[in-house]
Structure 1
């Protein structure tokens, strides 16, 4: 049953576009805490941070790899990246939950998650959700890392495709190029998402067209969130820093933005600097936008198209007794 933000007063979304804290988990957590409290002080009920912000999105790094080969230096750099990732739950998630509770907001944060259930050696690109009581509501693991991301991240499964009923509305989302997966988007629409989060590392102008399309297709608010990154934000002693030599000084200009359910740009895109964006959610606008197009309602054709989502976890090892 779809409930949530179908009526009531407008609610405020905050997008935080921070400077990167590459390979510096403590600083990244500090910035999320500070940004959350600042956004809440400006009236936000939902605060969103970028893809892989805690743990770091490793722009420009190949970790010493080539087809058919890996280097010892690359393995050491990978170990450092692995040590920058966080356990979920763990001490970092406890602190993030405390910040959400102090601010009284729903908090969504992109992290690099270190698997603690099966192997301990696999990382996931994960979106964490915290409630205004500080509870870890759940997480989404990226289903399909893109291109060279497959070197460093594993694949999530359908057990982490949540949409949460909150005071701001029904909140859920996908990470970066997962948003080009039509069936993944349909899974979100099928859960009645009203505020669709799309944290990303894609700063290209054409990404704005993607955000706008999702808003029009899902008739929902769409929140794009990225970070601002320059080469000098990497540690000076990073193994394989020479892999960045071919890259520009600015690795990511940002491009965070918020779109309304009729495709209007409500805030942003914010480019070339760190900062915050805000937009008010009008639940009535969601209803009005679905008058002529409702992707899982009167515009669906279940007699023609069938779609199932396997929401079971798929552990690598199962035991029977």
Structure 2
């Protein structure tokens, strides 16, 4: 299928409330499907909070008991591969007949570590794989572990080769090249970066990779946080994330968005022939590559997974 619709969701979860957020995800997925979308992308850490503005009681050299209790609340509202929440996401993807790709706080129930992850679900209701962020940024390193390269995943589907990176991973040239080497056609970029400069990064990746770029962010207000956390956010603005979700074609042209200062769903038509056409004059892994000079080896990187559509 070379031409179809995609949807990018810009919304906030019900912060720290996994059950109610799952209900919101179901509503947004169904809304996207009614608009004709075959693939639906949600923002980074949508299940169930990107904890913007919080420090979990940490400073260099010490942690607080109150911060550990907040960490427990964070853990409890997170998702594990194969758990009830994960299975519910698979089921709603099946009911809506969409590829669902959603940012989650993934809890590793063996190690006790949280990862910032991207979960992929097929229209058949299958969990087909995930990507864990390879390098959390700044204070994120307190709350999230690092991927070992084994989840730099891409999926070959009837809708093209799908893969992507999370937030500031997209500033890592070698991580991007790892995606290009696997022939990514739909490059997914869930993020928490609401700066206008982020738009330039998304256009650059579309032009560099000669791929469609789908970037999804949250629209978040301070008042959305639980009442008991408002005091800890006293120095934060009311609008904590403006959004900026956008869809861009392989020649850097904006197809939808950017969406600012509100929740919403943006949609666009994907024509995979545009990927081929864009490679007439530039192909980062083909005729515009110098393998005699440059070589990128990625440890532990999985092979492209073929998904039965």
TM-score range, shorter chain: over 0.9
Q: 1:111 touches 1:127 (CA, 8 Å); kept in 2? A: yes
Aligned-pair distance for 1:258?
Answer: 0.4
Distance 1:233 1:298 in 2: 49
Which digits, 9 at most, give the CA deviation of each residue in 1:197-246, with x for residues without a partner? 000000000000000000000000000000110111111124xx422111
For residue 228 of structure 1, what is the aligned residue in structure 2? 219
Aligned-pair distance for 1:312?
Answer: 6.0
For residue 75 of structure 1, what is the aligned residue in structure 2? 68
For residue 284 of structure 1, what is the aligned residue in structure 2? 273
For residue 47 of structure 2, what is the aligned residue in structure 1? 54
Q: 1:198 touches 1:223 (CA, 8 Å); kept in 2? A: yes
Q: Could you state the TM-score of these two structures normalised by the residue count of structure 1?
A: 0.92
Aligned-pair distance for 1:69?
Answer: 1.2
Q: 1:253 touches 1:271 (CA, 8 Å); kept in 2? A: yes
Which residue among 292, 299, 302 is the counterpart of 1:303?
Answer: 292
Q: 1:163 touches 1:191 (CA, 8 Å); kept in 2? A: yes
For residue 214 of structure 1, what is the aligned residue in structure 2? 205
For residue 102 of structure 2, what is the aligned residue in structure 1? 109
Q: 1:21 touches 1:53 (CA, 8 Å); kept in 2? A: no
Which residue among 135, 138, 143 is the counterpart of 1:147?
Answer: 138
Aligned-pair distance for 1:20?
Answer: 3.1
Which digits, 9 at most, give the CA deviation of each residue in 1:242-261, with x for residues without a partner? 22111101110111000000
Q: 1:171 touches 1:193 (CA, 8 Å); kept in 2? A: yes
For residue 123 of structure 1, what is the aligned residue in structure 2? 114
Which digits, 9 at most, give the CA deviation of each residue in 1:50-83, with x for residues without a partner? 0000021001001111111111111111111111
Aligned-pair distance for 1:150?
Answer: 0.4
Aligned-pair distance for 1:21?
Answer: 1.8
For residue 255 of structure 2, what is the aligned residue in structure 1? 266
Structure 1 gaps of 5+ residues are 1-7, 314-321
Which deviates more, 22-31 or 127-136?
22-31
Which digits, 9 at most, give the CA deviation of each residue in 1:257-313, with x for residues without a partner? 000000001100111000000011111111110000000000111110111011269
Distance 1:55 1:67 in 2: 27
Which digits, 9 at most, give the CA deviation of each residue in 1:29-55, with x for residues without a partner? 111111111111111010000000002
Distance 1:115 1:82 in 2: 10
Which digits, 9 at most, give the CA deviation of each residue in 1:134-167, with x for residues without a partner? 1001000000000000010010111101111122
Which digits, 9 at most, give the CA deviation of each residue in 1:85-126, with x for residues without a partner? 11111101111111111111111000000102x31x210000
Structure 2 gaps of 5+ residues are 303-309
Equivalent pairs, count? 302
Secondary structure at 2:227 match in 1: coil
For residue 29 of structure 1, what is the aligned residue in structure 2? 22
Distance 1:179 1:172 in 2: 12
For residue 307 of structure 2, what is the aligned residue in structure 1? none
Aligned-pair distance for 1:9?
Answer: 4.0
Where do 1:161-200 residues align within 5 Å? Answer: 161-200=152-191
Distance 1:155 1:95 in 2: 26
Q: 1:20 touches 1:228 (CA, 8 Å); kept in 2? A: no
Distance 2:102 2:221 in 1: 21
For residue 40 of structure 1, what is the aligned residue in structure 2? 33
